[in-house]
Amino acid sequence: MRNIFLLIAFSVSFAVHAQVKVEKLWVRGTVPGQNSTGAFMTLTSDKPVSLVAVLSPAAKIVEIHDMKIDNNVMKMSAVDKIDVVPGKPTELKPGGYHVMMMGLVNPLNKGDTVPITLEFRSADGKITRQQANAEVRDLTSGASGHK
């Protein structure tokens, strides 16, 4: 009976933490000598969460960024978090919110895979991490994210 209880408790715990769906995860490829690139994805959740950090062994620095046009000038800046509203897809895409990977360890070529860990904070302050693999797409992949 105790084993069944532990199995149920583990399943409930996993269900609570597995609330964010990561889709269309990709990284823009690079050319030799390029030391930064962007990662893009769509996040959906059944509960309010915030993306608060991103980690990857492919880069020395990984930050969450926002890009805006201000007085006809493109401005990019780091942000502390991106809120994911329940039931509403949150897009991280070129020209908006995205993940900036700086100090790349190696060039990223189309077809490569980049491990990424996303860190989320729930409304009650709990931190969970979710690992995923991002497909590296062609350097010319644009706003639509086509290969």
Q: What is the pLDDT of residues 26-44, one digit of tens each?
A: 999 999 999 999 999 999 9
Q: What is the pLDDT of residues 43-84, one digit of tens each?
A: 999 999 999 999 999 999 999 999 888 888 888 899 999 999
Which of residues 31 and 147 earns the better pLDDT score?
Answer: 31
Dmax over CA atoms of the chain, in Å, equals 66
Percent share of the chain, pLDDT over 90? 71
Confidence (pLDDT) at 72: 84
H/E element, 13: helix 2-17
Of 64, 66, 61, 47, which Cα lies nearest the Cα of 126? 47
Q: Give me the chain's average pLDDT, please.
A: 86
Domains in the chain (CATH in brackets) are 20-137 (2.60.40.1890)
pLDDT for 25 beyond 70: yes
Rounded distance, CA 136 to CA 139, Å?
A: 9
Percentage of the chain surpassing pLDDT 70? 84
Least confident of 14-23, 52-61, 64-73, 107-116: 14-23
Give which of 105, 28, 92 is closest to 54, Cα–Cα.
92
Please enumerate in sequence order all residues whose Cβ is within 8 A of that of 142, keeping only pairs 6 or more positions apart, or say none: 94
What pLDDT, on the 0 to 100 scale, is given for residue 73? 84
